[in-house]
Amino acid sequence: MVERLVVIGGDAAGMSAASQARKRRKPDALEIIAFERGHFTSYSACGIPYWIGGVVDGPDALVARDPQTFREKHAIDVRIRHEVVEIDLDRREVVARALDDGNKETRTGFDQLVYATGAVPVAPRWPGSDARGVFGVQTLDDGAAVREYVDTERPERAVVVGAGYIGVEMAEALVRHGLEVTVLDRAGQPMSTLDPDMGALVHEAMEGLGIDVRTGGSITALYTVLADGDDTADPIVDTARAIVDGHIILSRALAEQGVFPAIDVGRSLSRVMSDIIGPEHTEAARTFRRLWSVYEENRDLILMGAYKDGSDPVIDAAVAHHPLILEFLRQGQKELVNLNVSVTQLVDNFGA
């Protein structure tokens, strides 16, 4: 009777196990089925940054044996784009989901089972980690996603979080694409697995490639970088603020005035706001920011009484609207505010 071996995972460990099993038992004695949720089998994950950087052609150059080779030369039934979602030990079956066929699920029995899915990287649970333009680098499919994004979107800047082997290699790869690259790491030097003096040499070499290396800091979110105290010019904070789609700056002075949330609307910024709101909302927001900024720039003169009404129509407008601005900004700490109501108030008070 022909037995069946099912292998879950089609990279190095899984396909090595399948190949060794085939050497020991011929197809008439052992059927082998391997499930792989990605597009590739038996590839060199270490070479992904070099493919992204254009040092090697890929992804075929990184694949030792493709699914067709396993099928034709080794009689191993490799089923790519199939994710095993359940193992039923009582019935000795696995449930596989066909990712390219409407997620259709099928059950496959086994006599022997090899579970070789590989490790899952520990990714910090940062807010915004699932945003567009944020990537991990573990599989060839990950590499393909980065390559496609770089080739089609033509980004100008990149931040690499982590300065281990892959982080350093990815930074070099992105530099080769002409990106301005910053590497962030909480350790004192890149490559913390090396001795400090060797890490210093790596640091120097990276800077020689034009990579901006920032060490000794930590990131709490991908869209929100918190600075300790009032130092918003902190190097890591300043770098992150320069590349994200927007930033919010909190003001201690506003908090002391009883404004909650204490957001400095003049210094905060959204680069995508005009793309997601209507023209009326956009114009009212611009007027609001302009009046706010003018008042803040002339606050001392106004409060000291040194400014004379009628001297400047723009300052006059800022003074006249200031009570409305403060009323609009203030919110009770337990008060719920409806977005549509807020937008209506903004347009009514500051629209054209």
Query: Which are the catalytic amino acids?
Result: 46
Q: What are phi and psi of 43, to 5 degrees?
A: -120, 165
The tokens describing 161, both together, are 């979080």
DSSP character at residue 45? G
Q: How far apart are CA 14 and CA 8, in angstroms?
A: 7
In sequence order, what are the residues at sequence separation of 6 or more whose Cβ sits closer than 8 angstroms to the Cβ of residue 67?
A: 10, 36, 41, 78, 80
User: Is the Cβ–Cβ distance between 183 and 213 less than 8 Å?
Assistant: yes
The tokens describing 33, both together, are 């089925």
Q: How far apart are CA 6 and CA 115, in angstroms?
A: 9
Give the H or E element holding residue 253.
helix 252-256
Q: How far apart are CA 346 and CA 334, in angstroms?
A: 21
DSSP character at residue 263? B
Instruction: Give the amino acid at 189.
Output: Q
Beta-bridged to residue 128, according to DSSP, are none
Q: What are phi and psi of 147, to 5 degrees?
A: -60, -45
Q: How far apart are CA 269 and CA 134, in angstroms?
A: 20
